[in-house]
Amino acid sequence: MQNDAPLSQEIAIVTGGSRGIGLAIARRLGRLGARVALCARTEGAAERAAEVLRGEGIDALGGPADVTAVESVRRLVARVREALGEISLLVNNAGVGLFRPAHEIEEAEWDRVLDTNLKGAFLMSREVAPHMIRQKRGHIIHIASLAGKNTFAGGGAYCASKWGLRGLAGSMAEDLRAFGIRVSVVSPGTVHTDFSPHAGKDPARMLQPDDVAHVVEMLVLQAPGSFVSEVDLRPTQKP
């Protein structure tokens, strides 16, 4: 990467980084000069994605982690710090979807959605925050959803997780801003990925992973004296 790349001094972790929105964000940060660690549930998926980015000239590391398990999160962060350096950017993108009436959801299914989408962001943020505090700099970005503001039939577990994520992000922003750490949340509408069914919707009218990556780019390039706390992202035309 060129030495004058704007993120050449940054070390980033992107969870759920092996495909879709996460991979698009990791690629965008890497093209801006950041050294990027991609987290996925399996080492194979993480390493395959990292290899693709390395083939594009990006300094990328693939690392397995279950973001719902504290020891797995700790191992990932320790590995990234040892291999790449002190973490200055964290994108909490890992998420799962389950779309069924709340009264039909099993307890284990509820736990899987809330643990991945909300607890995972909490555990990752809690692990990197002390390092950022010592550096007196950093940026944590949570990828939420417009489902964190708008309810819909069958969205009980998913909406609950994303409403909670927005609340976590807002509170963290207040907790950490005195240390020079910025916290932002991005809430996209429906994105064209294999994440959830989009029956009857036109993919060409849907948001694309690169649209979300573009917002992340804008956030991390914001001048240091301010930060954007929340972005809602919608397609120009309804799908």
Coil, helix or strand for 119?
helix
* Residue 203 buriedness (CB in 10 A; 0-12 / 13-18 / 19+): exposed
Asked about 13 being catalytic, the answer comes back as no
């962060």: which residue's tokens?
Answer: 77
Rounded distance between C-alpha atoms, residue 145 and residue 165, angstroms:
9
């804008």: which residue's tokens?
Answer: 218
Q: 140, 158, 163, 176: which one is catalytic?
A: 158
**For the chain, where are the alpha helices, taking DSSP H only?**
20-31, 43-55, 70-83, 107-114, 120-135, 156-176, 209-220
Rounded distance between C-alpha atoms, residue 189 and residue 59, angstroms:
30
**Residue numbers annotated as active site:** 158
